[in-house]
Amino acid sequence: MKPKDKKIIKPHRPARLKNTRLRDLAVLDDFPDNIKFKAKRTPEKVAENYKKSMQLISGRILEMKSNYQYIIEADNIIYTATLSGRLKQFAFHSKSIVAVGDYVELDIAAEPPRIENILPRKNTLTRYLGTNFQRPNIIASNLDQVIVTSSWRKPMIKPALIDRYLCLAALDNIDAIIVINKVDLCKNRKELEETTSYYKTVGYTLLYTSALTGEGIDELRELLKNRDSVFSGQSGTGKSSIINRLEPSLNLPTAEVSDYNEKGKHTTTGTILIPWSFGGHLLDTPGIKTVNLSKDAKSQIPRIFPGFAPLAPLCYFNDCTHTHEENCAVLSALENGKIPATRYLSYVNLINSL
């Protein structure tokens, strides 16, 4: 070992001038002998010391308040946390850096606890505000499923609307389950089966429920257990009634009347992940009412429209729109009756509306 490799341990010196630049060293003569210069800390050192005092745990954002305040669930404890300065800088520029549903690393040694890291999202529930000015709005992240809710009657079942909701879920990369509610109003079960069989055939889980009689509610609860879900669907189809039936303690306001009042008055209600007593979460959000599709949805819908996913790769053209093209698997399926004319028409209408 060369002598210069030996680490020379110097006695601690209170004054350190290494990083101080002085034009004229003679000025030092004016300092009293016992002055203490503060050692300049290197950035590496700062980070090191800072991390040592941290106590990171993983958690989930349930709710966002104003002023960078977040409600976080971690190990069954609820924390009110703030955002680290570093993340705040990002948040200032991009409103979507933090979303309800995000998994985070929380420093519980800080006072108040501080979000130090946001983990990558598996998906986001995104809605577009306005029709021309396409501004994406991230409502929540890391959801397992969308419960597309329709009613048999009052309001009348609209399969074209179900198609649209299913497309929205697929665009968000979130699984969908279909719930047909108010089946107590159905006199003819065969008609109900026929109207909805297509979705079952192409692989969707479809349930018939009644918030009034309780039919299908236990089955639905099983599907919601230990998963994070959000209910979508037209107003008045019975979403709040179903949720109250599943979890009576939530006592959500129901009926069209209160819905209209909400629109006019309590528009401040935010997005929140509510833990179910049976495991998993319910996302309650006013943001789901928007059903606008994004600009680039038009190019994706030929591949994600209900039932089209396995067919589109079989079309001759990669970017087949299933309208005028030769050797189109969707058009063949339409001809041989595998796709009902009503669904195909719904597809064409949806594409043309974009």
Alpha-carbon span 274 to 192, nearest angstrom = 32
Token pair, residue 84, equals 């680290």
CB of 322 to Zn ion, least distance (A): 4
- Convert residues 112-131 into a mask of x (bound to Zn ion by CB under 5 A) and - (unbound): --------------------
CB of 148 to Zn ion, least distance (A): 25
Instruction: From 300, 326, 299, select the one nearest 314 (Cα to Cα).
Output: 326
End-to-end CA distance of the chain: 75
- Convert residues 214-253 into a mask of x (bound to Mg ion by CB under 5 A) and - (unbound): --------------------------x-------------
- Convert residues 326-345 into a mask of x (bound to Zn ion by CB under 5 A) and - (unbound): --x-x---------------
Contact 244, 254 (CB under 8 A): yes
320 touches Zn ion by CB under 5 A: yes
325 touches ligand GDP by CB under 6 A: no
Strands 227-232 and 280-284: parallel
Find the binding residues for ligand GDP in span 247-266 (CB under 6 A).
254-256, 259
CB of 152 to ligand GDP, least distance (A): 9
* Helix H or strand E encompassing 124: strand 124-129
Helix residue ranges, H only, the chain: 43-52, 85-93, 159-171, 189-201, 217-224, 239-246, 255-264, 297-304, 329-335, 341-352
235 touches ligand GDP by CB under 6 A: yes
With CB under 6 A as the contact rule, the residue among 124, 142, 181, 285 that binds ligand GDP is 181
141 touches ligand GDP by CB under 6 A: no
What does the angle CA 96 – CA 97 – CA 100 come to, to the nearest 5 degrees?
75
Binding site for Mg ion (CB under 5 A): 240
Binding site for ligand GDP (CB under 6 A): 181-182, 184-185, 210-212, 235-241, 254-256, 259
